[in-house]
Structure formats: C-alpha cells, structure tokens
Amino acid sequence: MSKTPHLDALIDLSELKSKNLSQLKKIADDLRTETIAAVSKTGGHLGAGLGVVELTVAIHSVFKTPEDRVIWDVGHQTYPHKILTGRRADMASLRQAGGLSGFSKRSESEYDAFGTAHSSTSISAALGMAKASQLKGERRFAIAVIGDGAMTGGMAYEALNHAGQDGIKGDPSNLIVILNDNNMSIDFPTGALSATLSRVVSSDPYLGLRSVAKKVASNLPPAIENAMRGGEAFMRRTWQADKDGGRHGGELFSALGFYYLGPVDGHDLDQLLPILQNVRDGDRQQGPYLIHVLTEKGKGYRPAEIAVDKYHGVASFDVQTGEQKKSSPNAKTYTSIFSESLIKAAEKDTKIVAITAAMPSGTGLNQFAKIYPDRCFDVGIAEQHGVTFGAGLACEGLKPFVAIYSTFMQRAYDQIIHDVALQNLPVRFCIDRAGFVGADGATHQGVFDLAYLSCIPNLIVMAPSDEAELAHMITTAAAYNDGPIAIRYPRGEGVGAVVSSEGQVLEIGKGRIISEDKIGDIALCSIGSRLASTKEAAAQLQAKGFGVTVADMRFAKPIDETLLHQLAETHRALIIVEEGSTGGLGDSCLRYLSSKDLLHNLKVRTLTMIDAFIDQGSQSQQAKWAGVSEESILAAAQEIL
C-alpha cells in the first residue's frame, strides 16, 4: 500500500483548486512524507522544505500558478514545490550530475519563475514581475516567499522600500510578500482570536470599509483625517499584539507602505487558505501585502525537529532513525583546519576577532565563538556590512578575520575595494568553498574570487594546497598588518597532510618547488587545490620519460616572479593550473612572461575553468567538465610536448 495515496491521485496541479480543506490537508501530509523519502536518498536541504509544506499547498491551491509568479527566496525550501510541479519522478536525481537543481531554476520548470540560491533577492524580482504585469495591462500576482533569515539581507529592505513607495503614492502593486518566520514561537498566534482577526483584516468587507473610510476622511479637515488614519492603524496594531503587549513587525512594514497581515500559523490550512484567498480577491488599492507566516523548520519529522540545525543540510539518511550516512565522519576538512588554526592564533593574540555572515557553522566560527564569544560576530546575511564592519575594527587596531564563502563574498565586492583596499586596512578575508563545491551547483561555485581579488591594489591573495599550508597561511595573515590579505580554500576534506602544532609565517609572494627534474621538458605550476591533480599528472608524464618540475605558486598576488622566471628559462614548456575562471593566476603569469620577453622559446598553456557555469555534480566531475582535472593537464602537456 502506498504511503502517499492522496498525492498519488493528484494527476495535475490544477486539481488542487477543486479540493476541499480536508483533502488539502491529506495532500500536505503526503507531500511531507514524500519530501522526507526523496531527500533520504539524495541528501540535500530538508528542514526548510518541511517547514513550508502547508504553505506550498496553500499557494498552489489559491493562486493560478505558473501564470501567477512565485519566487522562493534562496530556494532551500523548494523541494515540496518541485514535487507538486511535475518533478516528483525526477527527485532521485536531485543535486546529482544531470539531475534536478537543489534550488529554483528557470530552465528546469515554468513553475520556477526566478532562479535563486543566494538570499534576499526574491522581493526585488517579484516587484519587477508585478510592475511588468501592470505595464502590460495584465492582472497577475507576483508572490515572494522570504525567510526571516533572508530578511537580514539589506537588498530585501531596498526592495521593500521601493515596493512600499508605489503603494503610498496610490499606484498599488499586485505584489504579495510572504514572510516565512521559522524562528518565532507559534504558541500564541495559533489561537482562535488571532486566526479570526487575521481573516477579518484581510477580508473584502473590511478592506472595502477601509477604502470608504479613507475617502470620507480625505474630505475632512486635516486634523480629523489624521486622527482617523491614526485610529485605524492603532486598531490593526492592537489586533496584532501578542499576549505580552509586544508587536510582530506590523508597524515596520506598515511604515514602509505594506498592508501587514499576521502572524499566521503557517502549518494551519484553516488559517492560511482564507487569508490567501482574501488577499487574492481583495481591493488592490490597499497596495502591496505582507503576510507574516510562522512555521517550524523540520516540521513533521522528529529527528529534524530536535536537531540543532533542524536538518538544514543533510547527507542521505535512514528515514526511521534519521541517522545520516556520512562517509568520513572523522576526516579533517579545510574548514575545521581554519577553525583550529584561528583559535590557536587567537590564544596568542587578543587583537584577533572573527566575523561571519550568518554562517558560523559553515565557516567553522561556531567553535571560535564558544571559546571567544565576545570576539566573534555574526552579522546576519549582510556580507557588505560584515566587510565594512571589519574595516572599522581594523581602523581601531584589531585584527579582523572575515570568514565568508567565495560565492557570497561577491556581494561585498564594492566594500572590499572601497572600504578596505583603497584605505589599505589590514582586514583578513578567509574565503571558504573556493573552487568547485559539488552538489550545490552553479549558483555556489567559488570560481571567480581569484580573478575578482587579484585585480585589486594593495590586496594579497593566497591559496593553500593542503591542510598544513592553510595553517601556515592563517599564521601568516595574523602576522601581516601592512594591508588586506585573503586566503581562499576549498570545500570538503583535505589531502591528509600533517598539520604542525605551530604554523609558520610565509614570505609574502613566494612559491615553492614540489619536485624538480633537470631535463627541463615541462614545468607544471598550480595554485591551491589543483596541486594534487598536478602531481598525479606529473607522475604519469614522468612514467612516459618526460622531465617534469612541479611548483606550488602559493600566491596569486603577488606572484613569485623569480620562481616563474627561473622555470621559464629552464623548461621548454609551462602549464599553469588553477581552479577558477580566467583573470586569475594564469593571466598574471602570462603578463609577466610577456613583459620579460620570455615567450619566444617557451610554450605556455593556462588551464582555467571553461567559459561556462558548471552545474551540480561531484567536485571531481566538475573539475573534468571545467577542464582543470588531471586528465586536462595530461592532455595539455602531451599536446605541447
């Protein structure tokens, strides 16, 4: 017997609209079961999806999707949406090579109105879609579903401010923002009073009466008009007050020009459906709506509910026990080496402080925070602020280490240039997940940092080839106080290098020879995580009788010109390998070689990522697709030799 009979019977999404409340609840229960089963096989982001099962069913049953656009901020929570929108049979390929993306993706389905994976973008995109439908004379809704975490991102408030202006000016929007708040208790708002009042203030009679009152008030003396408007606002604020007299954000959103509704229990279809229906059918003159929905991350799956991270990101797991099937639980990752090394450095230097942008666990700074809670700062999803905050700390003589994923550091690019490098402030950038990241795919590849950092004056850029080198580079960054310095390191486990108890201070801009052959056929130069593949390719070339030298450049900026010059003069050919886009180490090396007229008798190849976005797969698969794998190095070497 099927565990999901009601979901099985749903042949087409449009059938949701004809289902009664009892049937929708059963479909939601099945959808939760199906989501758990799917993620248990592939791994992925589970907790966020479980928190929006009822909301997903409600949105698709009330609105005319895909004609009405739904944008899921970040996209962690889209698995139930994918299952409902024709991709159920493909969920076994989730986050696998050639399979479904772990996020929203326009090319994957017409129901994915906007591609997401970085946070805080949904309201801007939805507002653009809402405004476009107005300009084209269409009546189509744009619905942004954004989490309370993503609402810490400044871009979300920029969009709210713009959207609210339209409502204030009397140019109402067909925009609906659903704030999915999964960090607040839902004990009180689930009561009958809250549910009833939310339905009342979203209903057509109330909204119609409100419009009439506004028209009447506009013909009265200003003092009376203002008093009436203030009274109406006071009533709404009072209705939304909690049992302690506190407020749930209504004033803020109302001040921005939104018609605020909530809080609403996001797991109660009895509340969700009438409110969404009222908003759908209501007077658009009210302006954009913001519906505050309270949910529980991991809802309905006990192992997720009791886990600290609510099973945000999981490997494949046993559904009955919740036990995850991680291959090497004791292996050292680059992130853990960074964490341990920074803690050691902080023991000796009280000026060291750490900054993360809503990723304390992901960057390893959660361990630092346990030991030095007053010296660790989580700024939320606010990379721009985090970098400039670090600049302010550096101005006062502290040593800030700003730990942010490579793909997210892109959002703070102006701050790196204007607030840090231009003023030559000693901020240390610790760039995690540099290079290929595996199952998260194109949206999270950390492949642009070598290029976008190497062009910035005053900035030092390092990349460790193993765990021991990372420890040395943390020590180097702690000792370097002459300007900004960056360390980029990959996702996942290291190569097994032994990390010494004391890191060494490296000479800035100096690489190292790993192995040298006096025959001088070819030199293979790599930086960072590509060294292991470079050494493997070198061994195969040596087995074929070629003389091969392997060098670890260590620094993308400044490059080791002395080492590069030496290799160019003593070898027939040179290959430069990096796990990144064009514009990084290879370009800098070519520029130097050209300036010294060393290219006349030297064959040179630079291996960088191909000019394409690399989709999800294993990290080794991505290296092959990108053209920087061991096989790519061998092919390039054999071609020029």
Catalytically active residues are: 297, 383, 411
Q: What is the pairing mode between strands 175-181 and 69-72?
A: unpaired
CB count, 10 Å around CB of 157?
Answer: 15
Q: Which amino acid is at 533?
A: S
| Residues 276/278/283/288 CA torsion (nearest 10 deg) | -30
Q: Give the distance, in angstroms, between the CA of residue 355 and the centroid of all CA atoms in the same chain.
A: 17
CA distances 289 to 65, 127, 176, 350, Å, are 18, 12, 5, 48
Q: Which residues of 198-222 are buried (b: 16+ CB within 10 A; e: fewer)?
A: bbebbbeeebeebeeeeeebeeeee
Rounded-to-integer distance, Cα 467 and Cα 30, Å = 45
Rounded-to-integer distance, Cα 614 and Cα 436, Å = 8
202 and 261 Cβ atoms separated by less than 8 Å: yes
Rounded-to-integer distance, Cα 353 and Cα 376, Å = 6
Q: What is the pairing mode between strands 69-72 and 376-378?
A: unpaired
Q: Which amino acid is at 239?
A: W
412 and 355 Cβ atoms separated by less than 8 Å: no
Residue listed under structure tokens 């990723």: 359
Nearest partner of 337 among 514, 555, 501, judged by Cα = 501
**DSSP 8-state code for residue 514:** E
**DSSP 8-state code for residue 442:** G
